[in-house]
Chain A
């Protein structure tokens, strides 16, 4: 046990990182993923979807005020939030699956922090040049040129940040209307506040915080250690092949020529040759960079590569690694896939089993029953009638046939009530039992209340009880 005297500073300053441009298959894949994810994010609110005159025509809409979530042909009511919970479970299990198979593939390719940082670095490179130019600019005095480049870069970042914050609010209101409102100053304060906050976070996280978010703020890297095992494909430096590193082509040196290409392209500013580490998001750019160098030095590719720990040990021992599919299709990932698929099937079945009309019943329990002047026993029930259709429907309310019981609706002469399109309606109903009927004299009897839309023949029922005289 020894107390280190080396690190007594209160803080560690952020080391500036200037990732170099790199090209290769992983980089190309990342460009495509970036284009796809950004397009999904920015364009989704603008997709239209006709749902008739009574409902919004935005394909994806989280309508907080109306308490509805619209997703293309699917409409979720608040009491159906389990669908969202199911999707979140699927998202969680999906992350388990991908992490156990491919390590931090989410972090490296699809995480918004990674995608937007990538976009911001792209802008930075366009404005200020590649790594060496940026390092020079960073060291240069604040003259007119540096100000011009910096301000240009920040301005472009700001435009992206505003568009990012702006796109977010379009998911919560009709996008074309909200855009006009935002521009003319008529939108709600919360809309401007959301745009402002998300603009600020995008600008700061993508432009300045970058790897700090992943290393210090994000809980995900900590969780992932538990999901990765020795069969996980992850970005690995083949130390047995590369070491001892050296610039000379001597017999004693390994394949690594210590050119620092892998370090220079790393957006996290780490050295993959130190082994797996918390800061590595497995974006695979070092693989592209190293493969390029290996090609030029006439060595086989893959000094840095996707590799499992078990394969690394096999290679060190001189035996052949197993094919990648054997690492991906193993019991653990198949169990994750099975759970993921099961939840998905349950959700889909539940989605198609949803009734177009629904009724819930709450018996009024204070008092349990009312005695009318002629001795009739009356029970009262609060019905909630849900019309999930895009048009108004007449709900006819009845009891399972029992001549001794009679039903009546509060405030209505008839036994039907119109429920507006996509609405819930509360309706109090009364059920009467003749003075000496079994229902009136038994403490409790079962009751089923039916609702029926006589036009479409949609039916629903709710079970409850009828309380008779307590003797």
Chain B
């Protein structure tokens, strides 16, 4: 019995010749042709079952009613449902105990990181290093306290956010209207002195008295500040609005009034907690 007909052994050519090479005209195997037809049928079925044909305002929905948005929504709901238990644990756990539970700490940090990048990075920077007027969250210097509870309270109620009755609030007087320019210059020399910078000794001596009369009530006798009222520590090297002579003079004469939103208006207590844990573990938490 012969396997191959003469016809398939010599299929002839398509007539295409290039550089002496002829293209053979081998016929397709039958199963391959069937496979080709099958893909066409499959394609027709697909366009009936799934969204396919573009119309003016959308596409044909397909009889299966599939939508990638619905799929994402279902995925998000499934994740939320799967996280319900740990969410509950995080909200109800005493703040101090979170860091003792590695799973909880990891979960809060991961969630807090995402929230930070969404809501906080615009002002405090993607790396949380802040900038002029926006506190650095990585260092060990805190205006309103650096414990987990302090950070959570600041996040929830904001700073000088007047819509929130519990907001962190304080206001430094504009000393340009209280002190003379000379007195402001003298107290600036004193602040340079206590923060370990070069200063004019004569002016500083006078400034010490001006400081005691006008500034020590909030910033303390030694200039260590008061986190209870957001009064900055004047003896360290960290300055929110600059620490040189010019910047200090400006800040004394016409103080800044930095505000931060009360995030409890926008975020849930769970999210605030996640953010607090995240900020606390950035390196400066106390």
Contact = CB atoms under 8 A, between A and B. Distances in A.
B28 interface: yes
Nearest to B127: A366
B169 to A, nearest CB: 24
Contacts of B125: 366-367
A263 B3 contact: yes
B25 A7 contact: yes
A12 B12 contact: no
A77 to B, nearest CB: 21
B283 interface: yes
Given A6-B11, A7-B7, A7-B11, A380 B283 contact: yes
B138 A367 contact: yes
In the complex, which of the residues A9, A135, A269, A373 has the most CB atoms of chain B within 10 Å of its own CB atom?
A373
B27 A15 contact: no
Contact of A410 (B32, B237, B281): B281
Q: Main secondary structure on chain A at its contact with chain B?
A: loop
B127 A367 contact: yes
B13 interface: yes
A4 B26 CA distance: 11
Contact of B3 (A1, A271, A411): A271
B209 interface: no
Most chain B beta carbons < 10 A, residue from A1, A14, A366, A371:
A371
Interface in A5-43: 5-7, 9-15, 17
Interface residues of B, number: 40
B29 A216 contact: yes
B30 A13 contact: yes
A2 interface: yes
27 contacts: A3-B14, A3-B15, A6-B7, A6-B10, A7-B27, A10-B33, A11-B27, A11-B28, A11-B32, A12-B26, A12-B28, A12-B30, A14-B29, A14-B30, A14-B31, A17-B3, A212-B29, A269-B3, A271-B3, A367-B138, A372-B141, A372-B238, A374-B236, A378-B283, A410-B281, A410-B283, A430-B283
Interface of A: 1-7, 9-15, 17, 135, 209, 212, 216, 263, 269-271, 364-367, 370-375, 378, 380, 410-411, 428, 430
Interface of B: 1, 3-4, 7-8, 10-15, 17, 22, 25-33, 99, 105, 125-127, 129, 136, 138-141, 233, 236-238, 281, 283-284
